[in-house]
Structures are given as structure tokens and as C-alpha cells.
Amino acid sequence: MEKIKKIPKTYIFLILAVISALLYPFSKILFIITGLSAVIFTINKPYNLFFALVFIVIHLTINSYFIVVDTVEYEKINSVQFGSGKCYINKNIKIFPGNILFGNFYIDKEKSKPFFKPVYIYDGKLSVFQAPVISKILQFRSDMSNYLFYSSGGKITVAQALILGDKKFISDNLKDAYTISGLFHLLSMSGSHVAIVTAIFLSVLFFLPLKIRFIAASFGALFLIMLGGFNITVIRASIFAAIIMMAYVFDLKVNSKKFILFIAGLFLLVSPASINNISFLMSFGAVFGIIYMMKSGYGIIKTAIITGTAATLITAPLSMYVFGTTNHLSILSTMIVSPVIYLHILFAIFALIAPNTAAAPLLIIENISNNMVYFIAKITYFSFIFKTIPFYIMAFTIFFTVWTLFMTGRKKILSLLSLLIIFYPAEKPPKYIFPEISPQDKGFIVFSNNKKEIFYQGSEAGFRYNFMPTAAKYGVKVFDYGSITVFGGKNNYIKIKNIGKDNFTNLCLNEYNKKCSYFYHTRSNSIKNNDIHDNITHIIWKNNISDKSIIEISKYGSFYVK
């Protein structure tokens, strides 16, 4: 009992917050009971009663309203984007960015994907209210994004992502280069962007007293919330940075190690779905690693190396589990690119104030930045890891990292063992893999006779979000033979030594051959009665004629031959 009393209240608060967030999908009552316990028993009186009351009020209304950030029109419905998710709403209901929606919202478990922002659905009546101030902010954000793109002849595309959180203009090739080089986190507004904006304010206003600069930087960090379209990741990072800086201004001592744990627990109590959100986990994991590994007195180079390494300790296993990609050389790549990204964001800020004047230098900086990323992606492809890991390996690695970072002195170095996660062996592949992708997207993978073969033909979304994770499951990024055709995009991840479609091992593609035991059809309903033979297995999305030799992916799902 004495040992339990010695555990810091911050640790207990975070543990209870995590437990309550895990209980949220199963029982809202248990979530509220556990959340209230975290607040009442770990926060000093009388503040605990205030936080308990706020907690109860929030969760009586948290799923009752959302602020619309953006809308995407489809044929019959609109995809309405929130800062914390999205919802599909009938086009008959007129909704615009800046509107506030009131209704009985809840998470659609079928459409929501683990570790990504949830998809919401609603019951009953949906009320729409105008919020003029928010609408004007979002309209300014959209107008500036469009202006930078069109005024530069479509050449400025990354600045919008860095300062406005708008990635719609970035080409798929450039996105792939950022992913392969391990720098994609720079395109998603998060804690690193808040840190750079803070550094810009502190350096540009060098002639002012430090406390005045911290006040200005705090307002800059909070202003970034609006520029970022009220993105939940930016909200978390900006509030954290502003509190830390204002604590310095008022000469308040803040234990940053305990404070980051408290803030994480607080956000989990406010938004329990965050525990299943990859942006929250990676953002918090990176900041946690940096704070618990960093010491004062380090030089610039040592600080940069430790910052990159510490951030990678937790984000790498998460990235490998969710996306099937990572690149440990991103530690060095981030150090190389960061000064350019600093200038990139600086001129992007100037472009918001004086777009005509700042557009030209911003374009120069963007060209330099893009060329650097393309070059780094090319020379670091050898260290690009294209492999998924099991959940229990990811969880164990993160637990080990956290445990070692809590250690004192040089024992923290043990946390670097987590970087060895890239050597975890991939799953042993079957001989033939016919994944379920979509009616329009077709593909298969063959592993036989020490030969690796691949075929894909379909959309960019199907390739990136369905086919690639299947390939990453087996840790292969270089194939001996095959063909990949991405409509409206390009494959930059998987290399093929010999391009072709007519010489797969024991498998024919659309053309019958007696040597083939498997016949893969890219067109549905293309198998006729005279095509059916006992020694041939047909693989097709769907077919009008049924037979034991015909495997319909739409009915059976992914098909494997071991």
C-alpha cells in the first residue's frame, strides 16, 4: 500500500484516463465513472470538483454538435469534415464550412477504420446553425490556399499544407517522396509545426525582451489553431505550447515531464476516441520521447540528433503497424530539411500578410524544399522499410520504450533497442495472394520458386490503402517480375526488376494457357461454361456462372494458396 501511495498522482491520472478511454466504446457509464475517479482522486481540492463538473457537462454534449471545417460533394451525399472526423449527409441538407451541426451523433463502427479519424452517423433531426466568425476564418483559409496555388501557376503546393493544413494541391509523387524519406510528418500540421512557428516568433522578435517574445509566440501558436482549420492535433500541440510559455512568463515552475502526461490524460478524458487515433498517438509519442530523453545544456547538433531519435522511438513501431512503412534515416533527413522547412513556414506566414510580395521568395524556397525531398527519397530508399508488424510486437516495443525512458541516467540508452524493430521478420507468405480490393481495382502477388511476382491495375486510392498494406505484410519492396498500373497516379514504393504481364509462374492473366493452373480475370462476368476445366482455378471479382473451380473475390474475400 505504501508503494502505491508513492506513485505520482500524474501517473495514476494518466492510467485511469487510458482505462476510461478504452472503456468508452463498450460502456459510457463505466467511462464516466472511471473518468470521474481520475479527476476526483488525483487532482487537488477544490479544483477536482470543478474539473469533475466540466467533465460531466462535456460528455452530455460532446457528440451533440460539431463544427464543419470542409465539405466534399459526391453524387448523392456530401462528406462533411470535422476537426475530429467526418460524417456523410444527404445533399438536400445545405451545409457549408463554419456551420455548427447539432444532432445525436455516434461513431459508425463499420465505416470507421482503426487508428484513423472516425466516421460519424446521426439519428433523428439534424439542426444547422451559422457561425459567421468561424465561417470567415475558414473562408480566408480556403481563399489563401487557392490564391497561393493559382497565382504561382500551380507551383506552390506545399506551403498550404505547412501553414494551413491543406494538402489537396500536393502531387502524389511528392507525397510518396515525403513518405519514403520518412518526412511525411512534415506535411501534417502537428507539434513540429507549432514548435517551428514558436521558434519563428522567438527569433524574428529577437530585439524584444524574452517574456514579450513568449507572449507573442503563445498567441502565434493559438492562432495556428484557426489557420489549421481547427484540427484536433494542432489544438493539442498549440495549447500545450502556449501553457508552457505562459508559465515561464508568470514565473511558474512547470515539470514538463509530468505536464505532458497530464495533458495527454486530459485530452483522453475530453476526447476518448483519441486513444484510437494515429495522429494523437504519434504526436504524443514523439513529444513524450523528446521530453523524457532530453537534458538541458546540450549543443545544437546533439539536441537535433536526440530530438529526431527520441521522436522515432515510439512513432516507428506505430507507423510500421498502421502504415507498414518507416525510415530510420529520417532522423538525419529531418535535421537536413528542418532549416529549409523553417524558411518555408516563415515565408508562408509572410504570404498570408503580404501575398503579392512574399509569393516569389516562397516559390524559390518551395522549389529548394521539394528538390531536397525528392533527392533524399532517392538516396535513402535502401533504408525505407516496407513491412508491417503484429499488434503485440508494436505494443511490446512501445511498452519497453516507455519503461526505459522512465529510467534514470544512462539506463535510458536501453530505449534505443526499440529501433531494432525494423529487423523483426515479416510473415511467411503463401504462394498466391489474391486480395479483396474493390470491383474496379485488381491485383495479385506470387511467391514461388524463389521468385517474387506482382500485378496491380486500378485506382490510386485502391493501391495506396488496400493493395500496398497487403504487400507490406510480407516485407517485400523489390519484385522480380510483374506490372503495376495506377490510374491517375504512380507507383514509387515497389520496385520491379522485369516489367511484364504474360509470364507469371503457373498463372495466366486474362489469356488461357494449358500450362497455367490459375486464371486471373480482370473483368467480371467473363467466365463462360466452355472455360471451366477441372485442372484450372478461376479467380474473378464476380461472375454470372458459378462453379467449384471459380473463386469470386466479392463473395469469398481475399483468396490465398499456400
**For 229, which DSSP code?**
T
Distance between first and last Cα of the chain = 54
Listed by start position, the domains of the chain span: 136-254+344-387, 432-561
Binned at pLDDT 50, 70 and 90, residue 2 comes out as low
Q: Look-up: residue for cell 511498452?
A: 399
pLDDT digits (tens, 9 = 90+) for 382-427: 999 999 999 999 999 999 999 999 888 888 889 999 999 999 999 8
pLDDT digits (tens, 9 = 90+) for 427-448: 899 999 999 998 999 999 999 8
pLDDT at 306: 82
> What whole-number distance in Å separates Cα of residue 157 and Cα of residue 170?
5
pLDDT at 1: 52
pLDDT at 502: 86
Q: Which grid coordinates belong to 354? A: 503580404
How many residues are recorded in the chain? 562
Mean local confidence (pLDDT), 288-315: 80
Mean local confidence (pLDDT), 485-506: 91
pLDDT digits (tens, 9 = 90+) for 193-219: 888 899 899 888 989 998 999 999 999
pLDDT at 8: 83
> What whole-number distance in Å separates Cα of residue 95 and Cα of residue 129?
9
pLDDT at 283: 85
What is the number of other CB atoms lying within 10 angstroms of the CB of residue 33? 12
CB 457 within 8 A of CB 510: no
Q: Look-up: residue for cell 509572410?
A: 350
Q: Is the pLDDT of residue 112 over 90?
A: no
Mean local confidence (pLDDT), 236-258: 86
pLDDT at 284: 87
Least confident of 1-10, 26-35, 123-132: 1-10
pLDDT digits (tens, 9 = 90+) for 167-179: 989 998 999 999 9
pLDDT at 22: 92
Provide, rounded to the nearest whole percent, the portion of the chain with pLDDT above 90.
Answer: 43
Helix, strand, or coil (residue 251):
coil
Mean local confidence (pLDDT), 244-253: 86
pLDDT digits (tens, 9 = 90+) for 313-350: 989 999 999 989 999 899 889 889 988 999 999 999 99
Sequence-distant (≥ 6) Cβ neighbours of residue 339 within 8 angstroms: none
Binned at pLDDT 50, 70 and 90, residue 533 comes out as confident
Share the mean pLDDT of the chain: 88
Q: Look-up: residue for cell 463505466?
A: 30
CB 82 within 8 A of CB 119: no
pLDDT digits (tens, 9 = 90+) for 131-161: 888 888 888 888 999 999 998 889 999 999 9
Mean local confidence (pLDDT), 499-508: 91
pLDDT at 321: 93
> What whole-number distance in Å separates Cα of residue 217 and Cα of residue 243?
11
Q: Which grid coordinates belong to 59? A: 460528455
pLDDT at 297: 62
pLDDT at 482: 95
Q: Is the pLDDT of residue 275 over 70?
A: yes
| H, E, C per residue of 101-169 | EEEEEEECCCCCCCECCCEEEEEEEEEEECCHHHHHHHHHHHHHHHHHHHHCCCCCCCHHHHHHCCCCC
Least confident of 79-88, 165-174, 455-464: 79-88
Q: How far is CA 469 from CA 14, 108, 124, 326, in A?
A: 32, 23, 37, 13
Q: In the chain, what are the helix, strand and coil shares in percent, each to the nearest 5?
A: 55, 15, 30
CB 197 within 8 A of CB 348: no
Q: Which grid coordinates belong to 534? A: 477441372
pLDDT at 411: 87
Mean local confidence (pLDDT), 274-300: 82
Question: What are all long-range contacts of 132-141, with beta carbons under 8 Å and residues at least 24 apart?
Answer: 132/98, 134/67, 134/98, 134/100, 134/230, 135/96, 135/97, 135/98, 135/99, 136/98, 137/98, 137/226, 138/69, 138/70, 138/97, 138/98, 138/229, 139/97, 139/98, 141/166, 141/226, 141/227, 141/229
pLDDT at 447: 94
pLDDT at 33: 92
> What whole-number distance in Å separates Cα of residue 164 and Cα of residue 141?
7
Selection from 241, 174, 168, 173 nearest residue 202 by Cα: 241
pLDDT at 74: 81
Mean local confidence (pLDDT), 464-483: 92
Phi-psi region of 124 (alpha: psi -120 to 50; beta: other; left: phi over 0): left
Helix, strand, or coil (residue 363):
helix
